[in-house]
Structure 1
Amino acid sequence: MKKPALLFPVIVSLLLGFSTSAALAMEPVPISPTGSAIVQRQKAEERVESSRFSLLPYKQNYILPLAYNTHPNKRTYADVGEDLDRLELKFQFSFKIPLAKGLIAGQGNLFAGYTQQSFWQAYNDQQSAPFRETNYEPELYVDFVTNYSLLGLRSRFVSIGFSHQSNGRSGDLSRSWNRIYALAAFERGNFYCAIRPWYRIPEASDDDNPDIDAYLGYGEFYALYLYKEHRFGVTWRNNLRSSDNRGAVQLDWSFPLPGHRLNGYLQYFNGYGESLIDYDHVNNRIGLGIIVSNWL
């Protein structure tokens, strides 16, 4: 097992260096009193999409060297004898690749997306600092630019896609699911939100996690507020059941670091499904680190 000190700069380099062509799109979108941050991000992406091998940031790209969980999922790992540390390193990188434009009447852009999230027991010397869990999520989706008003909000785009998410493991630790989803994004001033309902594609009787819907629900809601160079975000999901109600909430705050182009990042998560292996376990985690690219 490689030492954390050797792997850490590799992870940071991976987060920072998708490709030179992606640099423009990864710049924080400036807040304009009259403009739309979503539209500005779309225009920035269009300027680099013409590159043959362009990689664009998709979801958040961050690293949390200090990610403390008050309630680690030791039950799942009891059979393999892993003694988990409460403090671990969490990171995520996410990118998308434009595949085709104007699929339907000049509208509809096809993208392939990929998101990978890892939980690394980097400070657990007794267990040789293993990667506790890694989730892999390739996607294929179509984006449609929109511009209509709904309940005082301005619609900016709608997406329809397919997602496969798994942890790449076998046996009792294997977790995976396939989903078809839709996403609608809205804005008003410096407030942005998106709702993403999904439908889980049924699997065979030997499904690793047949009850995952009962914990992760059937969709999620995301909201973001921009204030100067700060971003305040919340992600919420719930199974919407009156009995056995379960869900999760994640709070985000990204803030400028003096003298640096990167932003600091504070993340709080409470609930089910922080990772696939923890889909039926409540985590309570706070993490501090840096964020390379945000939603906006």
Structure 2
Amino acid sequence: MKNRVCFLLLIIFTFTMSEAYSQRLSREKINDTLEKMPVFSIHKDNYFVTGISTSEEISSETADAKYQISFKALLTRNTLPFDTHLFLTYTQKAFWNIYKFSSPFQEINFKPGIALGKPIYNRKNHLAGMAYLQVEHESNGRDSIYSRSWNRISLGYHTALSKKILLSVKAWIPFKYKKDNPDLLEYVGYGKLNLTYNFIPNKLLLDLMLLKGTKDWNGTVRTRLMYKPFNSSNIYLMMEWFKGNSESLLNYEENRSMIRAGFVLKSDELNFLKSLPDVL
């Protein structure tokens, strides 16, 4: 209950802070952007990274590779009530024991979903942020004692707090998860927070993700430093440090510390929030 109250207060704070800025994109510009948006596009970041554990001896057992594929398909634009748009999402994250004999896959997590998006405008009718109501299913496609799955209804909000800082908060209500993993919420909690700081716009950025479980010190801290070497592409070099639980579904209770490096094809889903804000 305490975690849910904290995330509710955080969402209220986020909406309040976003009112302190006036995005230069008007309602008309956002509607025009939605009309021209491609049907298929990147949803979350698509990446491939490989690395080692920082808490265990380095070996083929503790080193691995991780990659993610994520996209969305727009079903409607702003034809639904309240200027909302409907889209499907799909994200697949794989853990690959690439350094072991025969290079087996340790686990693949599948996450399909459907979401309703809505631009949020301030008193000047300029964009303040984007809100999403989403239903997701996540599973590892395994059976028997290795089966892991859960479902959630979530509410997310993305906004710019300043010229260089983007904030994303997401809170969820889980359902149908107790059969496979009854203690899952002790490790994933009821929501997460993302902060992205642009040291050099569209060139060098730092992303921080925080997630708190409902029990003790369970949770996750994930930091990503990304650098784009070529201005003509959307590919970044990435260094990632992951510390905490629930990196994968199969061993969600395991506390891991991994440092990995690789490349990422960044999502441009929230690029319009990077427009320079004017203080009201």
CA RMSD of aligned residues (A): 2.6
State which of 262, 266, 275 in structure 1 corresponds to 2:248. Answer: 275
The correspondence of residues 1-40 of structure 1 with structure 2, limited to 5 A, is: none
Would you say 1:209 and 2:171 are equivalent positions?
A: no
2:61 equivalent to 1:85: yes
Read off the aligned partner of 1:239 and give its amino acid letter. G
Shift, 1:226, TM fit? 1.4
Aligned positions, number = 236
Identity of aligned residues (%): 25
Shift, 1:240, TM fit = 4.9
Aligned AA (2:85): N
Q: Which amino acid aligns with 1:130?
A: P
Could you say which structure has the greater relative contact order, defined with CA pairs below 8 angstroms and 6 or more residues apart?
2
Q: Which runs of 5+ in 2 are unaligned?
A: 1-22, 272-280
Listed as ranges, the matches of 1:1-296 within 5 Å are 46-49=35-38, 54-64=39-49, 66-70=50-54, 85-125=61-101, 128-148=102-122, 155-187=128-160, 188-203=162-177, 207-228=179-200, 229-241=203-215, 244-257=216-229, 261=233, 262-294=235-267, 296=271
The CA distance in 2 between the partners of 1:143 and 1:191, in whole Å, is 21
Secondary structure of the equivalent of 2:36?
A: helix
Distance 1:233 1:164 in 2: 25
Deviations 1:54-106 (A, max 9, x none): 32100111111x2212457xxxxxxxxxx962111110010000011235435
3-state SS of the aligned residue for 1:102?
Answer: coil
SS of the equivalent of 2:197 reads: strand
TM-score by length of 1: 0.73
Q: In the aligned structure 2, how far is the partner of 1:136 from the partner of 1:259?
A: 32
Q: Which amino acid aligns with 2:72?
A: K
Structure 1, unmatched stretches of 5+, are 1-33, 73-82
Q: Describe the superposition over 1:218-270 as per-residue Cα deviations: whole angstroms up to 9, x where unpaired.
A: 110011111221121001010255xx231101001110225873210111100
Contact kept in structure 2, 1:155 and 1:184, CA below 8 Å? no
